[in-house]
Amino acid sequence: MIRSSLLLAITTFAYLLCALLYLSGVIFRRRTIMLWGSVTVAAALAIQMAGILLRWRESYQIGYGHAPLSNLYESLVFAAWAIMLIYLVMEYRTKQRALGVFPALFAFLAMAYASFSTGVSSKIQPLLPALKSNWLIAHVVTCFLGYAAFAVSCGISILYIARNSKQETTGGASSLLPDLRQLDELNYQMVLFGFLWLSLGIITGSVWADLAWGTYWSWDPKETWSLITWLIYAALLHARNMKGWRGSRVAWLSIIGFVCVLFTYFGVNFLLGGLHSYANTK
């Protein structure tokens, strides 16, 4: 009998392989290697999906019966999946394979952290009464789709800045990258997509909090940090649309935004505590 832990372990290394394939494709300027990267991503996504579904089933077999979105381990796994899914759709639509290095790296890091850190328990645990709600799925899925889009956008921003700093050397590794205008446009679309999901995530969280605790906003650190993230990206969108910001400045704002995402996700759990303390490790 295959267990979910095996499938997820395979996924971890598959994402490492993806990152290496994309990277060597860019370095050695071989499109075929990058194509293999894309094939590996698709396969890893399928294996991971199977792993997640299997874990869901296993939780029913133990008798707890809940979606695998309830603790740090499960959310990290879902985050990796969402990053690669969003990336793959973008790759399919833009036909730009060289952008895959960072998303694959982020997905690998998330999976590796979930699997190997002693601070993250991969045990299937029962749900606390506060989490027993259908809003759990809606809230976690929407938030993490937003986070994942911001991760992809952060990767694009890093590439933009890297490419921008090199004074147009034709040839070189950057020849496989889309041009600056395209990167900027893609970045904007990714941020807008993430912003939509983050808004949805905050709103579902808010509606749920009202149902569970009788208050839709309590300035708890997690809520506040998600609002901070939202404000940074709102500032980015306004700066781009109203003030005509383009390029590096937008890229830097997007990177700052992603740092906020990371802090909302990890920093708040480990440093600040609050209502979301069940997202903590143990």
Partner 1 sequence: MQKKVFWQGIYQKLASPKLTVVIFLVLAAASVVGTLLPQRLSEAELQGHYGQRAIWFIMTFGLNDLYHTGWFRLLLLFLCTNLVVCTIKRLPKTLKIFRRGEEQVDPEKLANCSFNCQFISNLSQDETESRLISIISEEFGSLRRLDGADHFAGVAENGRWSLLMVYVVHLSVLFVLCGALVGSIFGFRGFMNILEGEAVSEVMLEGSDRGLNLPFQVRCDKFDVSYYDNGMPREFRSDLTLIRDGKEILKQELRVNDPLTYAGITFYQASYGAILKDAEVELIDRKLGVVRRCILPFREWVNIPGTRDRAQILRFEEDFRHLGSAMVLLISRDGRDAAGSWILIDRDFHGNKIENYDVKVLHATQMSYTGLQVKQDPGIWLVWLGFAAMLVGTGLTYYVSHRKLWVWAAADAPGKEWTKIVIAGRINRNELSFERKFNSLCDRLQAELRQERGGLKP
Smallest separation (angstroms) from partner 1 to the CB of 15: 28
Smallest separation (angstroms) from partner 1 to the CB of 165: 22
**Contact yes or no for 43/73 (Cβ under 8 A):** no
Smallest separation (angstroms) from partner 1 to the CB of 87: 18
Smallest separation (angstroms) from partner 1 to the CB of 258: 14
CA distance 176 to 72: 36
Contact residues toward partner 1 (CB under 8 A) are 64, 125-126, 128-130, 132-133, 135, 181-182, 185, 189, 192-193, 195-196, 199-200, 203, 206-207, 210-217, 219, 221, 224-225, 227-228, 231-232, 234-235, 238-239, 242-243, 268, 272
The b-or-e profile of 67-83 (16+ CB within 10 A means b, else e) is bbbbbbbbbbbbbbbbb
Q: Cβ neighbours of residue 234 under 8 Å, at least 6 residues apart? A: 195
- Looking at the Cβ atoms of 49 and 212, the one nearer to partner 1 is 212
Smallest separation (angstroms) from partner 1 to the CB of 189: 7
Q: Quick one: which of 278, 282, 267 has its CA closest to 132?
A: 278
Structure tokens at 110: 């998330």
Structure tokens at 30: 């071989």
- Looking at the Cβ atoms of 176 and 207, the one nearer to partner 1 is 207
- Looking at the Cβ atoms of 168 and 210, the one nearer to partner 1 is 210
Positive or negative: CA dihedral 161, 147, 34, 25 = positive
- Looking at the Cβ atoms of 206 and 248, the one nearer to partner 1 is 206
